[in-house]
Amino acid sequence: MKKSKMRIALLGAGGMARYHIEGFREGGADVVAVCDVNPDAAEKCASDFSIPAVYSSADEMIAAEKLDAVSVIVPNAFHAPLALKALKNSLHVYCEKPPALNARETMAMAKAAERAKKRLMFGFCNRARPEAAALRKEIRSGRFGKIDSAQAMWIRRTGIPGYGGWFTTKAVSGGGPLIDLLHGVDLALWFMGYPKGEYALARTFDTLVRDKKFRGPWGMPTFKDGTCDVESAAHAFVTLEGGACLSLRCSWAEMVEREMMSVSLQGAKEGADITRKFGVDGDDATAEDSCGLYSMSSSGKRIDKPLTDKRDEKMGRVRCAANFVRTVLGKEEPLSTPEEAVELMKIIDAVYKSARTGAPVKI
């Protein structure tokens, strides 16, 4: 008898759903249902991507479909409640980033996954980019020696995702660019083997978050009377267990040349960076990617080794979702673990707390 395919359903039919659908299908699963509290969004997604069943209640969907897994692709405040519901129903969970609003919620999700003996993985999709995979492989070979420091950055010039919508409402998003653009911080920690944070010292700024000039090309609606109580930029210094440190900078609105994401590392024997300069004003033709290793020969000559010229315009989103399916099917190692998500969110919490109190925070 032919073995039936893994059955997965979507919770959330917004902007990110398309990447999950493509990745789950690529990994070998059937996307059997989509649920959204906005029935029109669910209907449209089902029709655009040929998904057979539509729901507006997660409970009804879970009861009616014989699911193996769900993906949680909703505003951040609903990540933990929906993931916990799914895990309680013995389903594997793929959850978009950030893992949740804070470390406390993320820990509850990690514990629930352990209790249910189910996979809980996150959309840390930049780990699935070809450059990131190539660099991680080099780091794992040991050629860097001990890594002393990392610098992680995701900065935008005009990149505020709407005004007054869920992204700018702290109670729903958990914060602004620090929690939204946490990919660089996650990548840096992942390259370093995920050391725990020790102390954080930070400042956040909300100078530009309500200035319409910095709105940018994001397709989010503007709500005239909506809330805008998150930062527009975050800058922090974090010390890590084992003696290393991480500096981070995340912004939706700063007066820089253009949007840029980068992670740099300094090892005892070698340094590296991975950089994406996004296209000017959203024009992909002007995007620039680079990833390389930097060292010195015994005679003091510089050695620059470009790593890969492969690039992924989908920023690893499809490959990351496919890895979830392949992990559940036992065909690949997971790209992310709940333990890493907890450590990341402890650092994010500490950065926000330090910015609030003006003092260093023990993590």
Ligand X SMILES: NC(=O)c1ccc[n+]([C@@H]2O[C@H](COP(=O)([O-])OP(=O)(O)OC[C@H]3O[C@@H](n4cnc5c(N)ncnc54)[C@H](O)[C@@H]3O)[C@@H](O)[C@H]2O)c1
Q: How far is the CB of 284 from ligand X (least distance, A)?
A: 16
- Which part of the chain contacts ligand X (CB under 6 A), choosing from 30-38, 128-136, 207-215, 255-263? 30-38
**With binding defined as CB under 6 A, does residue 38 bind ligand X?**
yes
- What is the signed CA dihedral for 268, 136, 118, 63, rounded to 10 degrees? 130
**With binding defined as CB under 6 A, does residue 20 bind ligand X?**
no
∠ Cα 11 127 362 (to 5°): 90
Greatest extent of the chain over all pairs of C-alpha atoms, in Å: 69
* Phi and psi angles of residue 163, each rounded to the nearest 5 degrees, phi first: -120, 130
**With binding defined as CB under 6 A, does residue 62 bind ligand X?**
no
Q: What are the distances in angstroms from CA 314 to CA 35, 42, 43?
A: 24, 22, 24
The whole-angstrom distance between residue 272's C-alpha and the CA centroid of its chain comes to 21
**With binding defined as CB under 6 A, does residue 125 bind ligand X?**
yes
The residues pairing with 201 across neighbouring beta strands, listed in sequence order, are 237
- Which part of the chain contacts ligand X (CB under 6 A), choosing from 32-40, 237-245, 272-280, 291-299? 32-40
Chain positions 92 to 121 lying near ligand X, rule: CB under 6 A, are 96-97
Chain positions 267 to 306 lying near ligand X, rule: CB under 6 A, are none
Task: Assess contact for 201 and 237: CB atoms under 8 A.
Answer: yes
The residues pairing with 292 across neighbouring beta strands, listed in sequence order, are 273, 306
Nearer to ligand X, 59 or 288 (CB): 59
Task: Assess contact for 349 and 234: CB atoms under 8 A.
Answer: no
Q: Which of 14, 130, 279, 360 binds ligand X (CB under 6 A)?
A: 14
Task: Assess contact for 289 and 276: CB atoms under 8 A.
Answer: yes
Q: Tokens 């040349």 — which residue? A: 257
Q: Tokens 């040991």 — which residue? A: 142
Q: Which of 21, 34, 54, 74 binds ligand X (CB under 6 A)?
A: 74
**With binding defined as CB under 6 A, does residue 176 bind ligand X?**
no
Nearer to ligand X, 110 or 240 (CB): 110
**With binding defined as CB under 6 A, does residue 352 bind ligand X?**
no
- Which part of the chain contacts ligand X (CB under 6 A), choosing from 7-15, 264-272, 289-297, 335-343? 7-15
Nearer to ligand X, 233 or 361 (CB): 233
**With binding defined as CB under 6 A, does residue 317 bind ligand X?**
yes
Binders of ligand X: how many residues, by CB under 6 A? 23
Q: How far is the CB of 313 from ligand X (least distance, A)?
A: 12
**With binding defined as CB under 6 A, does residue 67 bind ligand X?**
no
Q: How far apart are CA 62 and CA 184, in angstroms?
A: 34
Q: How far apart are CA 121 and CA 111, in angstroms?
A: 13
Q: How far is the CB of 146 from ligand X (least distance, A)?
A: 31
Residues lying near ligand X in the complex (CB under 6 A) are found at: 11-16, 35-38, 41, 58, 73-76, 78, 96-97, 123, 125, 315, 317
